[in-house]
Structure 1
Amino acid sequence: MRLLILFFVLLGVIYGDVYTAKTKNGTYCIVLEANITGTIYYNKMDVKKLVEYKFTVPHGADSSGDCKGPNENQILNINFKPEEKEDLIWNINLMFTKNPDVKDKSFKLVNYHLNTDFSNSSFFNSTQPKIAFKKTGEIFEWESNRDNTAYQCSTVSLDLETSSKIDFKNLRVIAEEELKNPYFKNDTIFSLCAADTMTSDVVPIVVGACLTGLVVAVLIAYLIGRHKAKRQGYASV
């Protein structure tokens, strides 16, 4: 029973909230599905060191975007309240462009930042009313590598200034598209992140090993039972 439960847990997939950017014609150029959380470090009044704050993008957060942004880039904005009791709006900005390594429909994430608002907030008590946390370092993966391909990763982070970050769980995203509906078709081809590629290779091996072990255990139990039955038969004679 435990092996069966483990098997279904390994195969189970949980999807997240959906955020989109629409064209003027009503089609969707960007569709992103994920559970989003994050951690920021900022300066607080009367505190000499950076203070940590963890946030969660709540269900039903608003999203918008620009399918024809600067330099032909496409932009997705996710707007949310970091604290239910605070009348503040934060914004996650993701910028995509066509993947230069692929001729047809393709995309890659080229820039991102997190806009925070601490204005008149006794909860945050920040030394700055507003802070834009910009990206640091290079962006790895977050791209399609063939025509009609979306990107998928079970867990991935985007690094920000001051060691802050945005975390995406159960991420699926596609850009540079014209979709009639804000969801992924059954025939969508996904490019997996490196971590998921390793997992997809390991899971069949683990499941196969478990099934092999189960078969061996059943066979041994059968042989032992048969041997005992023979001994009992001899004893009765």
Structure 2
Amino acid sequence: TTPTTAPTTPTTTPVPSTTPTSPPTTSAPISTTTVAPPKDWIVHGNDGTVCIIANMKVKVTVPYNATSGKMVNAPFGVEKLTDAAASGDCSPGDVQVLKLTQQNVSYIFTFVQNKTAKTYALGNVTVNILVNNYTFPNNTMSVKNVSLIHVSPVFTLPLNNSYTCSEVDALSFNGTAGTTTVKATVNLSNIRVEAFGTGNTTTYSAPLDCTSGETPDIVPIAVGLILAGLVVIVLIAYLVGRRRAQARGYLSM
């Protein structure tokens, strides 16, 4: 018998894929927008107008009794715009309010308008402080809040003008903590403020500096002395001239 040989199956070589490989996708860079820091505190009226623009530093010093039996000064203040959040009230009328709020302290600036004189003033300033061991360490107070107020106008100027001052004289504040009278000192510096605005711009109107309207006491005194001296000189010259005229009259006789 003749042996039979199984047919050989030819081997197939795999054909390389011709599908093109897509390049890896690159994510577009994420753009970030830097928000400019605020330049001023702004209060808007109900109609959207910018009624109050302000920028200032506030320093408050409140003396209190500590558990040690000693008087201690508690400092508070606003050094920069981001230290306090601004809000306010610009309802129609003659009063507008700027309120600066911190975690434990609020500062309220009340502006009053005089339509007849066409002026406005910072009529009073109020400081409210929560009493706790952070604001008044080791205090002996039994109240939860101290309210201080300065009721005299701080400045007055014509409408449509802004007020500037490098430093206002220290303001005396009075208040109460329960039945205890509290006195404090408030210093305002680097002030730029305008109230009763009627436009939509956040640009200040023409500034009036706190030193522009002040005249040192020595100036009127010096002017008065000079005028008095001139009067004396004129009087002496008149008397001398009169005596000479009289003497000439006697000689001619």
Give the SS at the match of 1:180: coil
User: Could you say which residue in structure 2 is the equivalent of 1:35?
Assistant: 57
Q: Equivalent of 1:94, from 92, 98, 109?
A: 109
Matched pairs, number = 167
Matched, 1:153 2:165: yes
Instruction: Give the superposition deviation at 1:148.
Output: 1.6
Q: Equivalent of 1:20, from 42, 50, 69?
A: 42
Large movers: runs of 4+ above 6 Å: none
CA contact (8 A) 2:74 2:135 kept: no
CA contact (8 A) 1:107 1:174 kept: no
Matched, 1:174 2:194: yes
Gaps in structure 1 of 5+ consecutive residues? 1-15, 81-87, 200-237
Higher relative contact order (CA 8 A, sep 6+): 1
User: Could you say which residue in structure 1 is the equivalent of 2:89?
Assistant: 66
- The one-letter amino acid of 1:144's match is L
Identity %: 23
Q: Equivalent of 1:192, from 199, 202, 209?
A: 209
User: Could you say which residue in structure 2 is the equivalent of 1:124?
Assistant: 137
CA contact (8 A) 2:167 2:187 kept: yes
Supply the distance in 2 between the matched residues of 1:194 and 1:176 (Cα, whole angstroms).
22
Supply the distance in 1 between the matched residues of 2:190 and 2:135 (Cα, whole angstroms).
34
Instruction: Give the superposition deviation at 1:183.
Output: 3.4
Give the SS at the match of 1:164: strand
Supply the distance in 2 between the matched residues of 1:122 and 1:149 (Cα, whole angstroms).
37
Shift in alpha-carbon separation, 1:49–1:113, aligned structure 2, 3 A: farther
Shift in alpha-carbon separation, 1:178–1:54, aligned structure 2, 3 A: same
The structure in which a higher percent of residues are helix is 1
Gaps in structure 2 of 5+ consecutive residues? 1-37, 175-181, 217-253
Matched, 1:112 2:125: yes
Normalization by structure 1: what TM-score?
Answer: 0.60
CA contact (8 A) 1:97 1:108 kept: yes
Instruction: Give the superposition deviation at 1:122.
Output: 8.1
